[in-house]
Amino acid sequence: MEELTIIGAINKGLRRAMDADPKVLLMGEDIGKLGGVFRATEGLQKDFGENRVIDTPLAESGIVGTAIGLALYGYRPVVEIQFDGFVYPAFDQIVVQVARMRYRTAGVLHLPITIRMPYGGGIGSVEHHGESPEAYFASTPGLRVITCADPSDAYWMIQQAIASDDPVIFLEPKRRYWQKGQVDTNGDMSTAVPMNGAKVLVEGADCTLICYGPTVATALQAASMAAEEGVHLEVINLRSLSPLDLATLNTSVMKTGRAIVVHEASSSGGIGGEVGQCLMQSCFYHLKAPVLRVTGYDTPYPPSRNENRYLPDADRILDAVEKSMSY
């Protein structure tokens, strides 16, 4: 076991994938000599060369478009979108080309492209540097959308994404980049949790907290606080936003009878609404209360001085728990 930060685990996962397959290459703005603004690719260009760790122009549409061509020729490109808000110039390439190629060609062609993206708030950033665009991609057929929340998942899920023949949007919770944890770097992917599987992090009987990415640590804090008051929350980390691991969610909610979905993104049209509808359809006769959501508000991410009012915190989660338990 090795203690790593999430960003360190991503770096090691990229290195291991590049060691294993010479067709894996990295592309992005400032990822080479600088090692990326968050240092996710630090040292990789030095060790693998400029032909495999490529500093690109500031042109997200061009970066993803080039990755499409490389993937068609047998490479496995890993694209870094420097900040979440920078992905929109590449949105057309992702949803019109990357997501559709396999369906369009009846499976003849596939695009094993991994698009890495730091997302979420909490770092005091300026506009376009803190957003949660996950619902755009999760609602697009043909894309896998996954997100890590701890170093172990970061290490294994980035390798699983690169190995996938489907295109993968790999979302990295930037405010958790320096969170530390134990990682078994001597294991192999055969023993890792599948990247489309949810994880039960805390078992409980009273209410299910469903979270992902940056809100996992917040949900765990809320569960710890609730336990002190005698309320036992079951905490589930979704990990995969598309497809959803509904079997794990259904099992938990049928046990607890209550569910609360937590995410930073806006409530309207968000992942929480999709999860809630699926649970209402599958677990209707087991529910003791409506499925509730604790989310960001239906506004753009605010200036950094107001982020603490926008981002879900443990108190807002506990308020929702109290409301759910009151039914």
Catalytic residues: 129
Partners of 169 in beta bridges:
115, 145
3-state secondary structure of 211: strand
Q: Which helix (H) or strand (E) holds 261?
A: strand 259-266
CA-wise closest residue to 261 among 198, 305, 327, 308: 198
Per-position DSSP letters for 189-205, written without gaps between them: TTSSPPTT--EEEE--S
Cβ proximity of 170 and 161 under 8 Å? yes
CA-wise closest residue to 274 among 74, 140, 167, 109: 140
Residue 282: partners with Cβ closer than 8 Å, 6 or more residues away: 246, 250
Cβ proximity of 55 and 84 under 8 Å? no
Centre a 10 Å sphere on the Cβ of residue 103 and count the other Cβ atoms it contains.
10
